Structure 1
Amino acid sequence: MPVRVVDSCTPSQASGLNNGSTSPQACTLLSPGQTFSGTQNVSNLQKDEAWRVNVRIQGCDLDHGYLCGTMEALNVPMADTPVITFWEGEIVDTKNHTFYTGKWGATVDDDIKHWTKFPSFAPLMAQVEVDGGKTLDLSSYPFIFMRWKEQYFVNVGTDCGLTIAGFYYACFSCSDGSINGFYYDPNSSPFQKLELKSTNEGRLGYSFSSYELQ
C-alpha cells in the first residue's frame, strides 16, 4: 500500500519438468491465521522511509493457487491510525498461475524484471523465458512465488493518501517462513521492497476480530 509518488541463498538445483503434480508443497507457515511482521521500504529520490507492516493469512488453497489476507501499515505519515487492506493472492504453481501476470498493467518485461530480484528465481529463469514456466514442477521447490493484489481498504476511506492500484510480486521461503516482495505500480516508486518474518502469534489461530471482511 505505497504512497503514490510522481534472499540469502539460492537453491543448488532447479526443479525438473512437469510431472503432473505442480501444486507447491504444503507448509504450516503459510496457513490461515499465520502472521508476519516486517517493513516496506517506500523510499524515493526525495525521501528515505520505511513503514512497519503486519500481514495475516486469512485463507490458503494450494490446489487452486489462491490465498488471501490482510495487511496493516502502522506508521503511515498521513494517516491517524494504522491502515489495513484486504488482499487476494495468486500462487505461481504453473497449473493455475504462471510467472507471467497478464493483467494489472504488468508486461512480460515487468514480470522478468521483478522476479529476477529474487535470488531463488535464478534456477528457473531459463525455462520461464521459454514458456512462462509452464513445464516446471514446483511441487518440491523450497520457495513459493506469489502475487498479492490489495482489493480494498478495511478501516479507512480511499482518501487516506494511499494507493492500492498496483500489486506485489512475493517470494515465500518454506524453510523459515520469511516473505520478500516488490511492489509494482507505474505511478509509484519502483521496486518498493517488502520484508516480512513469520511470527508465533498466528499459530494460535487468532484473526482480526475487530473487522468484518466481506
Structure 2
Amino acid sequence: MPVRIAESSSCSTPSQGSGANSGDTLPPACTLLSVGQAFSGSQNVSSLQKDEAWKVNVRIQGCDLDHGYLCGTMEALNVPFADTPVVTFWEGEIVDTKNYTFFTGKWEATIEDDIRHWSKFPSFSPLLNEVKDDGGRSLNLSNYPYIFMRWKEQYFVNVGVDCGLTIAGFYYVCFSVSDGSIDGFYYDPNSSPFQKLELKSTNEGKSGFSFSSYQLQ
C-alpha cells in the first residue's frame, strides 16, 4: 500500500533477468490464488518517529499463471489524514523461472536489494545459492509449497496523486500454497525499509469481504 516518502537514496538498475532453461515450469496451481479470492491483514508502516500499522484488504482481479501474471486491488482502511479507505490497483509478476526470475531488474531494485528482501522469507533459504548464480533460472518451482511474486501498484483508484502518498515502490511477496497466507516486504529506496505486509485468506473464501464499487480504467 502507498507509504509516506521518507529519506532519499539512489540505486543502480541491473538487467532484467526473465529468461528460462530447464527450470521452465509453472508454480503449482492453487485455488487460493485465483480471480475473486480475498485476503485481509495489515501492513506495518512504522518509522523511527512512531509505530503505525494499516489494515489492508486485497482482492485478486486477474490471474494468468501461463504468463506469470496476476493483478488486483489493495485497500488500506485506516490511513492517517485520509477521509476514506485508500484503494490502489496493482499488477504482479510470479517468479516461475519461465517468465520472471528472482532478479527484479527495474523499479530501482539492485540484485543486492533482491537477495536482501527475498532472504527475509524463511521459505526462500533453500533456494538462495541457486538464485545467487542466475536469479533462479535453473530452479524447478512446480512443486514448491510457496509462490514468490512481486506486486507493483500502478495507480490510485479512488484518490488523487496529490493525496500525500506514494506508490513508487513494490512488494516482494511470498504466498503459502497450503493455507493461502501472504507475507510481503515493501521496497522503495525513498521510504521506510522492510515494511511488512501480512495477509490471510478470508475464512469465507471469495465472498469473505467486499469493496465499495470502483471502476478500474
TM-score, normalised via structure 1 length: 0.91
Letter of the 1:89 counterpart = G
Gaps of at least 5 residues in structure 1 are: 7-17
Report if aligned partners of 1:56, 1:202 keep a CA contact under 8 Å in 2.
Answer: no
1:67 Cα deviation (Å)?
0.2
Report if aligned partners of 1:72, 1:83 keep a CA contact under 8 Å in 2.
Answer: yes
Superposition RMSD on alpha carbons, in Å?
A: 1.5
Partner of 1:146 in structure 2?
149
Partner of 1:82 in structure 2?
85
Report if aligned partners of 2:94, 2:150 keep a CA contact under 8 Å in 1.
Answer: yes
Report if aligned partners of 1:78, 1:161 keep a CA contact under 8 Å in 2.
Answer: no
Distance 1:151 1:65, change over 3 A: same
Describe the SS at the equivalent of 2:130: helix
Instruction: Give CA deviations for 1:139-196 in whole Å, capped at 9, x if unaligned.
Output: 0000000000000000000111110000000000001100000000000000000000
Letter of the 1:151 counterpart = Q
Whether 2:59 is the aligned partner of 1:56: answer yes
Alignment of 1:165-204 (within 5 A): 165-204=168-207
Partner of 2:110 in structure 1?
107
Report if aligned partners of 1:38, 1:196 keep a CA contact under 8 Å in 2.
Answer: yes
Partner of 2:216 in structure 1?
213
Runs of 4+ in 1 over 6 A off after TM superposition: none
Q: Aligned residues: percent identity?
A: 79
1:204 Cα deviation (Å)?
3.8
1:78 Cα deviation (Å)?
1.6
1:43 Cα deviation (Å)?
0.6
TM-score, normalised via structure 2 length: 0.90
Distance 1:33 1:206, change over 3 A: farther
Report if aligned partners of 1:32, 1:205 keep a CA contact under 8 Å in 2.
Answer: no
Gaps of at least 5 residues in structure 2 are: 8-20
Report if aligned partners of 1:70, 1:85 keep a CA contact under 8 Å in 2.
Answer: yes
Partner of 2:31 in structure 1?
28
Which deviates the most, 120-129 or 21-30?
Answer: 21-30
| Aligned residue-pair number | 203
Instruction: Give CA deviations for 1:87-140 in whole Å, capped at 9, x if unaligned.
Output: 000000000000000000000000000000000000000000111100000000
Report if aligned partners of 1:40, 1:52 keep a CA contact under 8 Å in 2.
Answer: yes
Partner of 2:97 in structure 1?
94
Report if aligned partners of 1:33, 1:207 keep a CA contact under 8 Å in 2.
Answer: no
Distance 1:201 1:157, change over 3 A: farther
1:200 Cα deviation (Å)?
3.4
Report if aligned partners of 1:35, 1:200 keep a CA contact under 8 Å in 2.
Answer: no
Partner of 1:38 in structure 2?
41
Whether 2:135 is the aligned partner of 1:132: answer yes
